[in-house]
Amino acid sequence: MPRQSTQEWIRLSLRTPGILIFGMVFAPCGWILNLTATVAPNWRTLNNLPNRPVDEFIQQGIWEICRATTVNTRQDCTLQDTTYFNNQIIEIAQGLMVASLIVTLIGLAVAIPGVRCWRDRPNWVVAGLGGILIFLSGVMVIIPIAWYTHILDEIATVSPTVDVQVGYCIILGYIGGIFEIVGGFVMFIGICRCCGGKNRGETRVEEVRGIRFGNRKQPQRRVEVPSLDRPRSIAASSSVPYSKDSMDEDVSFPRAKSPAVRTINTSYSGRPYDADL
């Protein structure tokens, strides 16, 4: 039994595929959000501090701790808390967040040569490898963010009366990690052809040939239909409503005869009568 030949695929457009554009947009956006979550000192906020003013609160990050008030925007970030920084989650978060930023940059550097559109088709293997790295960087962000949120109230709380709230870095970290996970996964889909090649913007060569040659519509055959109109007279086809000949041939009323021309005979020599006078 002869072996079936491999199907050939072709790209009808030189545009960059949508899945690659999607990944190349989401990955940098997620990297910026993760960078903000890494360096900003607001993973959690402590309110109602004992023996402190009511309007004072403390913001704790993975690198530093700041004190601020609701009436003054200036922060004091010189606070030291060895008990807080000795928690296991802090060390893990520092390592994973920095590693995620580095891996994202490496993933973008790998994916860019495969996504460039100056060639007929992208390099799907290179772009897919870049997508895997971006996906892993998003996972590196979600792990410490989710762990920190899970033990938010257990991380070196000063007093049971302290009100612990989630900081904006946690929210930015979740959004940035999801952006990178989704963007990297979508780029990785390009390695395998699915949805009939639509994910790559490709079409089977047989289908293209069928569209261009096999399914061409035949021109409609023109059928001559005989005319049923009767030939009209010259007078009817003329733009003039009537002619002189038609008036002479067809008259619907009697016409007066023109009087005969009287001739005067000058040679009459008879006697004139009274009637002639």
pLDDT in tens, 28-37: 999 999 999 9
The whole-number average pLDDT for the span 230-248 is 52
Is 129 contained in some domain?
yes
pLDDT of residue 270 exceeding 50, the answer is yes
- Domain of 122, CATH number, reads 1.20.140.150
Question: What's the pLDDT score for residue 216?
Answer: 53
The pTM of the full predicted model, rounded to 2 decimals, is 0.67
Return the pLDDT at 16.
Answer: 73
CA neighbor of 142 nearest in space, from 184, 174, 116, 117: 174
- Tens of pLDDT, residues 80-115: 888 888 889 999 999 999 999 999 999 999 998 888
Contact 197, 204 (CB under 8 A): yes
Percent of the chain with pLDDT over 90: 31
Least confident of 1-5, 136-140, 191-195: 1-5
Q: Has residue 234 been placed in a domain?
A: no
Please provide the average confidence, as pLDDT, over all residues in the chain: 76
- The pLDDT of 150-175, averaged and rounded, is 86
Looking at the domain assignment, is residue 256 inside a domain? Answer: no
Residue range of the domain that includes 29: 9-210
What is residue 99's predicted lDDT score, i.e. its pLDDT?
96
Whether 166 has a pLDDT exceeding 60, the answer reads yes
Q: How many domains does the chain have?
A: 1
Higher pLDDT, 69 or 191: 69
- Name the band, by pLDDT with cuts 50, 70 and 90, for residue 140: very high
**Residue 20 resides in a domain:** yes
- Write down the pLDDT at residue 208: 55
* Rounded mean pLDDT, 209-220: 53
- How far apart are alpha carbons 273 and 59 in whole angstroms? 155
65 occurs within a structural domain: yes
Asked if the structure places residue 93 within a domain, the reply is: yes
| Structural domain includes residue 271 | no
151 is a domain residue: yes
